[in-house]
Amino acid sequence: MDIVEGIDEEYVDDALRVAYDAFAEKFRIGFRNANDLIRLFRGSVDTANCFSAIADGQLLGILTFRTAGREFYRLNPAVVFARFSPLRAVLVLFNLVLLEDYTEPDEFVVDSLAVARSSRGMSVGTALMQKAEQKAVSMGKRTTSLGVIGGNEGAARLYERLGYKTTRTSRGFLVRLATGSPEVRRMEKPLVSGPPDAAAGRTT
Ligand SMILES: CC(C)(COP(=O)(O)OP(=O)(O)OC[C@H]1O[C@@H](n2cnc3c(N)ncnc32)[C@H](O)[C@@H]1OP(=O)(O)O)[C@@H](O)C(=O)NCCC(=O)NCCS
């Protein structure tokens, strides 16, 4: 298995399908199925801002990240209106705005981590997380962070094993609307600091 920084265009549709399958509960308003996510983001994701796991020409998993000024899922309202009917475009945009979050300048956010069902439990997710952390260190970031939806204890265990701790639990109407779950845990891990790019390749 290779963990690659970025993703080849040829795997983007597969990545969006794996992401939809993993996070269908986050794409409820205006979305009908994985094809809608593909329709929305084909040609408009920033393929540099992710890591992909590939084996034998198959995409096993993807980790997308966000920093201040960089993201994988680029939200462009004009594209949404060009690809969906006006009503659905409004609903899709509303869904995406609900999922938007602020990013601190010294923060590296793991936006989403998704492994194809048939490849789970084989350390693909762990390997993607480790590469992402190396990237965060090389960018001079101070912390990596992510959100875990309530009830996703398997994923939370994986992050705890990697040294992440819960720093906040958000609840309320908007959380439920955005995620379909009553709560979201924010988990964080402090990184070994170093000058930008000097620490590339260092394992945290
Ligand atoms: C969570 C996820 C990314 C883990 O990827 P993975 O490649 O299976 O993870 P690894 O093999 O490196 O580590 C295995 C750990 O993943 C967690 N895990 C969560 N769901 C799992 C599943 N369906 N099958 C296997 N492991 C799972 C477990 O904690 C497991 O460790 P355990 O032995 O303590 O139970 C993957 O299960 C997935 O894509 N789930 C759906 C999307 C999701 O929940 N993403 C995280 C959002 S915060």
CA angle 40, 10, 53 (to 5 degrees): 100
pLDDT digits (tens, 9 = 90+) for 44-53: 899 999 999 9
Q: Take atom 41 of ligand 1 and give the residue whose Cα is closest.
A: 22
Q: Take atom 1 of ligand 1 and give the residue whose Cα is closest.
A: 155
CA of residue 125 to ligand 1 center, whole Å: 7
Q: According to DSSP H, which parts of 24-152 are helical?
A: 34-41, 77-83, 86-99, 124-138
CB 196 within 8 A of CB 139: yes
The bridge status of strand 183-190 relative to strand 143-149 is antiparallel
pLDDT digits (tens, 9 = 90+) for 126-183: 999 999 999 999 999 999 999 999 989 999 999 999 999 999 999 988 888 888 899 9
**What residue ranges do the domains of the chain occupy?**
2-190
CA of residue 154 to ligand 1 center, whole Å: 6
pLDDT digits (tens, 9 = 90+) for 69-114: 899 998 889 999 999 999 999 999 999 888 888 899 999 999 999 9
Smallest CA-to-CA distance from 202 within 113, 130, 142 is with: 130
d(CA 19, CA 114) in angstroms, rounded, equals 6
The reported pLDDT for the residue numbered 204 is: 35
3-state secondary structure of 53: strand
Could you say which of 3.30.1280.10, 3.40.1010.10, 3.90.960.10, 3.40.630.30 is the CATH number of the domain covering 2-190? 3.40.630.30
